[in-house]
């Protein structure tokens, strides 16, 4: 079973995604040694669901020095929790889908103002479940992928970026991949416009709600 940590909203990430010892360069100056500390890299990728899954976010992050991957799945239509997560991750490189909305793009760039943000073609976010099955070690196998499409898409892009950036190939069944999930309530925009109230706490609830209440009634 994949390791899962319930987080609200993902506190203590320094324990999950340790950067290790900082890079140190030494120079001699007047007989004394000067230390210059460089920030260790953390890579991240971000995906948002489309259509009725808008607001369902998936984030993947890795310290390339350790190759320990972390994937995050949560609902956040305001991007407030995403920005909190990014502040804790403090990534040096961030990947986003080329079809990312302007609101999400702005949330990422304003939060990660010192990071390099790359807009990546959608094809690099495909095949996440297959890559997870191939690369995860025995203790991290994913039993149920329902509702995790976005974080798996982010994982797929991040794997390819990590291999490219580190000039390496990740071995089969070699990765530690930790799953972090957080549920937030989401209000159906169609019901809200019609003056009724409904709250859903997962992507599965959203899909079921639309299937029973809107697809047939409104011709979706």
Token digits of residue 180:
């972090």
Which residues lie closer than 8 Å to 15 by C-beta, 6 or more apart? none
CA distance 26 to 35: 5
Q: In the CATH scheme, what is the homologous superfamily, with its name and number, of domain 4-184?
A: MutS, connector domain (3.30.420.110)
pLDDT value for 26: 36
DSSP-assigned beta bridge partners for residue 71: 60, 179
Residue 184 has pLDDT above 60, yes or no: no
Domain map (residue ranges) of the chain? 4-184, 185-220
CA distance 10 to 181: 8
CA distance 59 to 164: 19
Cα–Cα distance list, 172 to 43, 59, 130, 132, 186 (Å): 21, 22, 11, 10, 37
pLDDT digits (tens, 9 = 90+) for 87-112: 999 999 999 999 999 999 999 999 99
pLDDT value for 120: 93
pLDDT value for 185: 53
Name the residue among 111, 110, 115, 125 with its Cα closest to residue 48.
125
| DSSP three-state, residue 179 | strand
pLDDT digits (tens, 9 = 90+) for 53-97: 788 899 999 999 888 999 999 988 899 999 999 999 999 999 999
Most confident of 55-69, 151-165, 183-197: 151-165
Could you tell me the pLDDT band of residue 149, with boundaries at 50, 70 and 90?
very high
Name the residue among 160, 173, 205 with its Cα closest to residue 186.
205
Model pTM? Answer: 0.71
């Amino acid at each position: 079973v994949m390791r899962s940590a319930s987080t609200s909203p993902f506190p203590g990430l320094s324990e999950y995604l340790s950067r290790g010892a900082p890079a140190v360069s030494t120079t001699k100056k007047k007989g004394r040694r000067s230390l210059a500390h460089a920030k260790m890299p953390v890579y991240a990728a971000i995906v948002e669901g489309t259509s009725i899954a808008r607001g369902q976010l998936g984030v993947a992050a890795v310290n390339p020095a350790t190759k320990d991957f972390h994937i995050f799945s949560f609902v956040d239509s305001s991007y407030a929790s995403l920005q909190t997560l990014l502040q804790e991750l403090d990534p040096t490189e961030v990947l986003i889908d080329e079809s990312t909305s302007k609101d999400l793009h702005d949330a990422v760039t304003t939060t990660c103002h010192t990071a390099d943000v790359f807009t990546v073609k959608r094809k690099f976010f495909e095949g996440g479940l297959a890559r997870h099955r191939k690369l995860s070690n025995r203790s991290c196998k994913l039993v149920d992928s329902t509702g995790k499409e976005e974080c798996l898409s982010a994982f797929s892009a991040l794997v390819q970026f990590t291999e490219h950036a580190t000039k390496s190939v990740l071995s089969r069944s070699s990765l530690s991949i930790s799953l972090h999930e957080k549920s937030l309530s989401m209000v159906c925009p169609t019901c809200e416009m019609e003056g009724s109230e409904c709250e859903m706490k997962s992507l599965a609830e959203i899909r079921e709600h639309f299937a029973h209440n809107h697809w047939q009634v409104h011709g979706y």
